[in-house]
Structure 1
Amino acid sequence: MDITLLIIGFVLMFVGVLGSFLPVLPGTPISWVGLLLLYLTKAIPDDWVFLGITLAIAIMVFALDYIIPVWGTKKFGGSKWGMIGTTIGLLVALVFPILGFFGIIIWPFLGALAGELINKADQKTALKAAFGSFLGFLTGTFLKFMVTIIYLGLFIFKAWEYKSDLFPFFN
C-alpha cells in the first residue's frame, strides 16, 4: 500500500506543478494532497505540524492566485474586462499552443488588451491596464510554481530520507 500511496502522491506532485500554469487545476492544493499521501504511508512518521503549515500555505497561495491579478489590474487602472480577457487569452494559449511557451505569455496579454478595448478604454489606458493584468497573472503563476516546486522538493527529500523504509526489498 505504501508504494501505491507514494506513486499516486508523486503523480499528484507533477499534476500540481502543471496546475501552477493551467487555470483549471488548483496546483498548490493538488501538490499538498501529494505530500499528504506521502505522510499517510507507514514508512514516513506523522508530522501534523508540517502538514498543517503546508496546507495553510497552499490555501493562502490558492486565494492569492485570485487576488493578485485583481490588484495588478486595479493598480494599473484596469477593469473586470481586462481580467476576463487575460483568462480567455490563457485558455487560447492552452488550446492553441501555436507559439509554444511564449504563447502562455503573449495570449493573456493580448486577451487583457482586447478586454480593455472592448470596455471602451482608450489605447493608452488599455495597454496600461493590460500590462497590470498580465503582471498580476505572471506574479500569481510564479508564486504557484515556486510553491509547487518546493513541495515537490520536500516530497523527494522525505521519500529519499526514508527510502529504506519505503522500499525494504532494496536493502
Structure 2
Amino acid sequence: MTYLFWTLIVLLFVVAFVGLVFPIIPSVLFIFAGFILYGVLFSFEPFNWLFWLIQGLFVLLLFGADYVANMIGVKKYGGSKAGIWGSTIGILIGPFIIPVLGILIGPFLGAIIAEIVVHKKPINEAVKIGLGSVVGFVSSVFTKGIIQIIMIAYFLWMVL
C-alpha cells in the first residue's frame, strides 16, 4: 500500500512539472497536494512551521519568477505593458489553439499583436518584442523548474 501512496504523491509532483509548459495547470497546487496527501496518508509530523514558511516563500518566488522573467524578456526588447499582457494571454491560450508548439507561438504572437494594435509599432520591432517574450517564457520555465525541484527536495529531506 505504501508504494501506491508514494506513486500518487509522485504523480502529483509530475503533474506540477507538466504545469511548467502548460501554464493552465497550477503547478504549485499539485506540489502542495503532494505534501498534504503525504500528511494525510502518513503523518504531518515532519512538517513544522519552518517547513510551511520556507515552502510559502518558494511559492512567492514561483509567482515572482513567472512575472519578472516575462516582464524582463518583453521590456529588454523594447516592449510595453501591452506586450507583457499580450504575451501572458498568448501563453494561456496558445497551447489550446496550436497543441505542443502553441506554448512558444502563443506568447510570441500575443506580444506582437498587442504591440501593433495598442502602440502601432512597426512589424520588425513587434517581432523583436515577440522574441523577447519567448526568451522570457523559456527562462521562466527553467527558473520555476529549479524552484520546484528545490521544494520537492526539501519535502523529501523532511520526510525520508
Bucket of the pairwise TM-score, normalised by the shorter protein: 0.7 to 0.9
Q: Could you say what secondary structure the match of 1:20 adopts?
A: helix
Alignment of 1:156-167 (within 5 A): 161=160
Higher relative contact order (CA 8 A, sep 6+): 1
Percent identical: 30
Contact 1:31 / 1:152 at 8 angstroms: preserved in 2? yes
Query: CA separation in 2, counterparts of 1:28 and 1:146?
Result: 13
Gaps of 5+ in 1: 162-171
Quote how far apart the aligned CAs of 1:69 are.
1.0
Q: State how far apart, in whole Å, the 1-side matches of 2:85 and 2:63 are.
A: 18
RMSD of aligned residue pairs (Cα, Å): 3.2
Pick closer, same or farther for the CA change 1:97–1:151 going to 2, 3 Å.
farther
Summarize the alignment of residues 18-167 of structure 1 with structure 2, pairs less than 5 Å apart.
Answer: 18-39=18-39, 41-42=41-42, 45-48=45-48, 49-98=50-99, 100=100, 102-119=101-118, 120-152=120-152, 161=160
Aligned residues: 158
In terms of Rg, which structure is larger? 1
Partners of 1:79 and 1:89 in 2: CA distance: 15
- Structure 2: stretches of 5+ with no match in the other structure: none
Q: Are residues 57 and 151 of structure 1, via their aligned partners in 2, closer, same or farther at CA, if it must alter by over 3 Å?
A: closer
Q: What amino acid sits opposite 2:38 in the alignment?
A: L
When the two structures are superposed, what TM-score results if normalisation uses the length of structure 2?
Answer: 0.73
Q: Residues 17 and 31 of structure 1 are in contact (CA less than 8 Å); yes or no, is this contact kept in structure 2?
A: no
Cα-to-partner distance string for 1:42-95 (whole Å, 9 max, x where unaligned): 457514233432331122212321232122222221022222332333334321
In structure 1, C-alpha distance between the alignment counterparts of 2:7 and 2:60, rounded to whole Å? 24
Using the alignment, how far apart are the partners of 2:46 and 2:155 within structure 1? 14
